Amino acid sequence: MSNFFDSRVARWLDDRLDLSPIKNLVEHKKVPIHHHTVWYYMGGVTLFLFLVQVFSGILLLMYYRPGENSAYESMQFITSKVHFGWLIRNIHAWGANIMVLFAFIHMFSVFFTKAFKRPRELTWATGFILLVLAMGFGFSGYLLPWNELAFFATKVGTDIAGVVPIIGEKLKIVLRGGDDVTGATLSRFFGIHVAILPALTTVLLGLHLLFVQRQGMSEPEFFEELPEAKKHYIPFFPDFVLRDALLWLVVLIIILSLAVFFPWELGLKADPLASAPMGIRPEWYFMFMFQSLKFLPPHILFFEGETLGVLFFAVAGIFWMLIPFVKLQNGSINESKFFTYFGLATLAFMLGMTILGYLV
């Protein structure tokens, strides 16, 4: 890599654009080596999966036709007639789930290694918004094949938006493009999925990565406290990048295997005049919220139980996004421990509710 900067092309570019920031990054960025180094790879895997989604999504766009009478049919066409259409569709469907999974793993790993703290508050906040956007991708994309399961899951999901006080009803109508889930909803979700969310994600991802590069890798407390001689690093280029690439390849192989051996069913076409089938469930990453709502009694004081539940998750999400700004009274408790327990409690709640959701 360093000899690239001596090449004539590089010098030509350098004269005009000043490549020194890039050169600096390539030559000086280093990655700490300790027993939590593996978590440094999680953001990169999420990034790779996002790229996989963009590529497979663009390929699907070549044949997909939104619309009540064409969406399902075009998906059938892609999976049964188009060469390798089944493969592209299944990569996109599996990739979506795995990307959300890795975004969660990445988030909790930066939480537990306390990488969210000063000076990385903004990296954390942009990262959280990226996770919300990823969930938005999942929710909007799920409807696009216009099959029965997705149709009812979307009816339920958008109806929940309706319980938000004051703006709920408007919000629901704006989301659905009308009073009910119809072809208008499909058009709207399509626009959200292929234009609005990719644009927002690109901007936030750009910021997120810019912050990460400006700040360098975070070093956990126990590593910082080591004597200088005991701190081991590897260069980011090429050592870490090559390891990244190898891991990306492994992830790609996992997705391909899942796509080949566990293809997604297309199911039955949505029919607004058919009864809901058994087994309507949100996607797994919404399950913890959905299951919690089910446990709430229909009425709490003057509110509907669901209204309180939705408000609770909105507030909890904002709190989680702003958690780097939380300051504890110094002295009384060990801050680092406190965050660890708080994170464990959050994780236990989410996992517990998810498991319950699949058991009952």
Partner 1 sequence: MTKIGRRDFVNYLLGFGGISAIAAIFYPIGRYLVPPPIREAEPTTLKVGSIDEFPANSSKIVRFGRKPVILIRDSGENIHALTATCTHLDCIVQFSEDRQQIICACHNGVYDLTGKNVSGPPPKPLTEFAVKVIDKEIVISQMKA
CA 196 to chain centroid: 15
Question: Which CB atom, from 252 or from 296, has the smaller least distance to ligand HEM?
Answer: 252
Tell me which of 33, 184, 266, 311 binds partner 1, using CB under 8 A. 184
Q: Report yes or no: 208 and 123 within 8 Å, Cβ to Cβ.
A: yes
Give the residue nearest to ligand HEM (CB). 127
199 binds partner 1 (CB under 8 A): no
Question: Which CB atom, from 128 or from 152, has the smaller least distance to partner 1?
Answer: 152
212 binds ligand HEM (CB under 6 A): yes
169 binds partner 1 (CB under 8 A): no
Question: Which CB atom, from 9 or from 273, has the smaller least distance to partner 1?
Answer: 273
Tell me which of 52, 59, 88, 107 binds ligand HEM, using CB under 6 A. 107
Q: Which residues contact 354 (CB under 8 A, 6 or more apart)?
A: 284, 287, 288, 291
Q: Which residues contact 157 (CB under 8 A, 6 or more apart)?
A: 139, 282, 286
Q: Contacts with partner 1 in 242-281 (CB under 8 A)?
A: 272-280
Calculate the alpha carbon distances from 87 to 52, 94, 99, 150, 328 in Å: 13, 10, 17, 21, 51
Q: Report yes or no: 42 and 99 within 8 Å, Cβ to Cβ.
A: no
Q: Which amino acid is residue 25, in one-letter code?
A: L
Q: What is the DSSP string of 25-91?
A: HHHH-EEEESTTGGGGGHHHHHHHHHHHHHHHHHHHHTT---STTTHHHHHHHHHHTSTTHHHHHHH
Long-range contacts of 193-200 (CB under 8 A, 24+ apart): 193/137, 193/140, 193/141, 193/144, 194/57, 194/61, 197/133, 197/136, 197/137, 197/140, 198/54, 200/133
CA angle 294, 269, 256 (to 5 degrees): 85
Sign, CA torsion 292/204/48/123: negative
217 binds ligand HEM (CB under 6 A): yes
Question: Which CB atom, from 170 or from 214, has the smaller least distance to partner 1?
Answer: 170
Name the 3-class secondary structure at 354: helix
Tell me which of 67, 136, 178, 267 binds partner 1, using CB under 8 A. 178
H-run or E-run covering 14: helix 8-17
Stretch in the footprint of ligand HEM (CB under 6 A) among 65-73, 211-219, 221-229, 283-291: 211-219
Residue 168, both tokens: 């709920």
11 binds, among partner 1, ligand HEM, none (CB under 5 to 8 A by kind): none
Q: Contacts with ligand HEM in 118-137 (CB under 6 A)?
A: 120, 123-124, 127-128, 130-131, 134
Minimum distance from residue 298 beta carbon to partner 1 (Å): 6
d(CA 277, CA 281): 11
42 binds ligand HEM (CB under 6 A): yes
Stretch in the footprint of partner 1 (CB under 8 A) among 106-114, 138-146, 167-175, 257-265: 167-175
Minimum distance from residue 172 beta carbon to partner 1 (Å): 10
Question: Which CB atom, from 171 or from 217, has the smaller least distance to ligand HEM?
Answer: 217
Tell me which of 18, 179, 224, 225 binds partner 1, using CB under 8 A. 179
List contacts with ligand HEM (CB under 6 A). 40, 42-44, 46-47, 50, 103, 106-107, 110, 115-116, 120, 123-124, 127-128, 130-131, 134, 205, 208, 212, 217-218
List contacts with partner 1 (CB under 8 A). 152, 155-156, 159-160, 170, 173-174, 177-181, 184, 272-280, 294, 298, 304
